[in-house]
Amino acid sequence: MRPHLTSDNHHLSRFTLSSGGMSPFPAINARADGSPPEEVRRLIEQSLSANTRRAYLSDLAHFEAWGGVVPATPTTVAAYLADYADRLRVATLVRRVTAIGKVHEARGLPNPVRSELVRATLRGIRRTRGSPQREARPLLREDLGGIVDALDTTLRDRRDRALLLVGFAGGFRRSELVGLDRADIEPVREGLVVTLRRSKTDQAGKSRKIGIPHGRTRWCPVSALEAWLSYSGIKGGPLFRPINRHGHVASGRLSGEAVSIIVQERAAAAGLDPRGFSGHSLRSGMATSAARAGVPSWKIRTQTGHASDAMLARYIRSGELFIDNAVSALL
């Protein structure tokens, strides 16, 4: 049964306003040393990326709309999971209980998600309703080449050629790709050194350098990026930007969703079925193509920034399905 909520229920969770929307963190009283609570709250919120905060807020809003409260009991969270077991994907439910757990821990409250009741409920959902996680279709080297060859010499074509080739060569996530600035690109004799200042796995901003060498084929990412910078006139600020219908380059940066649209539209224009392609297809395509070419997994990880071989496993397995396949010696 859903918990009954009334406007005077002091347990009803309320999220304090902050820049950019609501905050999953509680209001913080001033410290004894006089530190302003606004500054403390700002620093705490900066521990999460903007995308993560938005995702948490969306998940918490869904929980509250159902009738959840913070603090929540394990029984309430388990009931929430059971109620949506038939309506939401398992990955979505996992993400939502993660958000519920995070807000409890941020407020110093017991985390109901760690209870055996909630964990057992999730295991039961996985066993009865689980399905394979949808994965982006990798944009393999040969298909990428076909897409690039179909591009013309307009400003938009030059941008998309550079975006596709640099995204593939760097093994970048779409958020990493659109987050690049002109200052993050350093030409060197061997090609380019790209400084990735922040990523999904580097929330602290320690940064990481990625080498993109000169290509040995007509699909050279270095040449493609140089051409885009030359024709666009970009000297600073965002590296990849929107272009309006009059051919003018905007001052802002492309969105992550725009990368997905570009990949799908350019794939379709080259005669490929765009279904399954997304912004992640560049990253998975590089890893899969490298695995097929026999590149050691540790070298692939150096480029993509994966923390372990386990994180690369699905790409490697896909890339090696037909290498030394046992059946090839029989039929």
| SS3 of 266-289 | HHHHCCCCCCCCCCCHHHHHHHHH
126, 283, 301, 317: the active-site residue: 283
53, 96, 280, 292: the active-site residue: 280
158, 173, 174, 253: the active-site residue: 173
Amino acid at 233: G
- CA gap 188, 179 in Å, rounded: 21
Indicate if 317 belongs to the active site: no
* CB contact at 8 A, 215 and 223: yes
Indicate if 11 belongs to the active site: no
Spell out a b/e string for 25-44, using b for 16 or more CB atoms within 10 Å of the CB, else e: bbeeeeeeeeeeeeeebeee
2, 31, 182, 200: the active-site residue: 200
Indicate if 104 belongs to the active site: no
Cβ neighbours for 278, distance < 8 A, ≥ 6 positions apart: 136, 137, 174, 260, 263, 264
Indicate if 159 belongs to the active site: no
Joined together, the tokens standing for residue 50 give 């903007």
Indicate if 80 belongs to the active site: no
CB atoms within 10 A of CB 47: 12
Indicate if 173 belongs to the active site: yes
Residues with catalytic function: 173, 200, 280, 283, 306, 315
